[in-house]
A and B are shown apart, each in its own frame.
Chain A
Amino acid sequence: RKEVEQDPGPFNVPEGATVAFNCTYSNSASQSFFWYRQDCRKEPKLLMSVYSSGNEDGRFTAQLNRASQYISLLIRDSKLSDSATYLCVVNRRGGADGLTFGKGTHLIIQP
């Protein structure tokens, strides 16, 4: 079983719609969780950290369910510029360890 699993998509979504991505991780000892965004042929950029209490940053909301080892990302009022690959990322031992990336979910926002 892969450490971090995501639906690769692509998700084709009309502009203005709400879209949700999910991710599961296998290592119950994982300590930190993130969503990154990667544009074509570019490095990943941190979108937001994910906390058990849930957190929101503008149009983006992230949730973590430790019991189910499940992470979600919700994007409201999607913009054309949201088109990218969204990477679910887990850090096994806090900051001391490298990051484990999912393969990403490809999102295409259509005008």
Chain B
Amino acid sequence: GAVVSQHPSWVICKSGTSVKIECRSLDFQATTMFWYRQFPKQSLMLMATSNEGSKATYEQGVEKDKFLINHASLTLSTLTVTSAHPEDSSFYICSARSGSLGGETQYFGPGTRLLVL
């Protein structure tokens, strides 16, 4: 149980395009989803916290107008990287949390590798 999927697993796009990444909790309802990114040889960094039906809370330094987050249901959150540029190339990982599964454990998706040319 507690499986989180992400789609796509990798994407290559041209500079200036927008990319949407989906994060789904497959067998549980995620009251909270988190979005992280990881640059090569760096730690995972929290980008934003998303609660179903409300606006996401962004970490300092993360542009909310560039990284659009929608958490429309208890099983789906999307991250849209708008007008992507090469410096946005990174490994984007979501996690989902459900209190009903016990405690504060976050279950991670497999990640999405974004390469902006």
Contact = CB atoms under 8 A, between A and B. Distances in A.
Contact of B36 (A91, A97, A98): A98
Contacts of B91: 41
Interface in A26-80: 32, 41-46
A10 interface: no
B97 to A, nearest CB: 6
Interface stretch (B13-21, B65-73, B78-86, B98-106): B98-106
Interface residues of A, number: 21
Contact of B111 (A42, A91, A94, A98): A42
A99 B34 contact: yes
A42 B110 CA distance: 6
Contacts of A102: 43
Contacts of A94: 104
Interface of A: 4, 32, 41-46, 87, 91, 94-104
Interface of B: 32, 34, 36, 41-46, 49, 59, 91, 93, 95, 97, 99, 103-106, 108-111, 113
Q: Which 7 pairs between the two chains have the least Cβ-Cβ distance?
A: A95-B104, A98-B46, A103-B43, A101-B44, A43-B108, A101-B43, A98-B34
